[in-house]
């Protein structure tokens, strides 16, 4: 679906992809990593990361090129997603970049069996920065699925009540 929000999100992700790619082409690994992390986690996030985590990002930053390429060449449509009948939990952060919020909004409005939550204080890296809240949402989602499955089984037309075993 083409609209202003999608166009803006697309422009945002293309811009960061281009900037990271140019830095990598120049051999500026540190700059590429900083651009990437600050985009997803907010200005200054790279500088505030512990050295060990920055080392890990530097070691894998070249892979980002392939990730962006996969993103830009993916051909899945919203119509195809509408046919995906599996339970989905879509978590997002209000402080995430516009592109991440737009993807979450599209998934939430398209998928037929979706539950969603947007964390007011979290950004894209919510699983790291707000792990307790994110983990609790995941646990609650599994509880919901378990209850739903129990209800379906209980009310299935071919179900037979189980009798207590004689002692």
pLDDT at site 148: 93
Q: What is the pLDDT of residues 75-123, one digit of tens each?
A: 999 999 999 999 999 999 999 999 999 999 999 999 999 999 999 999 9
Q: What is the pLDDT of residues 51-64, one digit of tens each?
A: 999 999 999 999 99
- The answer to whether 41 and 124 have CB atoms below 8 angstroms apart is yes
**Cα→Cα distances 109→118, 122, 127, Å:** 14, 21, 22
- The answer to whether 68 and 21 have CB atoms below 8 angstroms apart is yes
Domain ranges of the chain: 4-73, 78-154
Indicate yes or no: pTM above 0.95.
no
pLDDT at site 39: 96
List Cβ<8 Å contacts ≥24 apart for 31-38: 32/61, 32/64, 33/57, 33/58, 33/61, 36/61, 36/64
**Alpha helices, DSSP H, located in the chain:** 4-25, 29-41, 45-48, 51-60, 63-73, 78-82, 98-110, 126-129, 131-154
Measure CA of the first residue to CA of the last residue in the chain; give whole Å: 62
Residue 154: pLDDT band with limits 50, 70, 90: confident
Architecture of the structural domain at 78-154: 3-Layer(aba) Sandwich (3.40)
**Residue of higher predicted confidence among 146 and 159:** 146
Helix pair 98-110, 4-25: axis angle to 10 deg: 130
CA distance 122 to 129: 7
pLDDT at site 145: 96
């Amino acid at each position: 679906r083409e609209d202003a929000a999608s166009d803006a999100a697309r422009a945002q992700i293309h811009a960061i992809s281009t900037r990271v790619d140019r830095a990598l082409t120049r051999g500026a690994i540190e700059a590429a990593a900083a651009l990437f992390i600050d985009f997803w986690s907010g200005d200054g996030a790279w500088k505030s990361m512990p050295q060990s985590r920055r080392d890990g990002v530097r070691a894998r930053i070249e892979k980002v090129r392939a990730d962006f390429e996969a993103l830009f060449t993916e051909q899945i449509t919203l119509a195809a997603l509408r046919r995906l009948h599996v339970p989905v939990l879509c978590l997002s952060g209000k402080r995430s970049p516009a592109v991440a919020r737009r993807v979450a909004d599209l998934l939430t409005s398209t998928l037929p069996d979706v539950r969603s939550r947007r964390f007011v204080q979290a950004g894209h890296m919510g699983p790291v920065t707000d792990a307790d809240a994110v983990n609790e949402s995941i646990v609650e989602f599994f509880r919901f699925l378990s209850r739903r499955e129990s209800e379906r089984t209980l009310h299935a037309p071919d179900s037979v009540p189980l009798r207590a075993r004689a002692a």
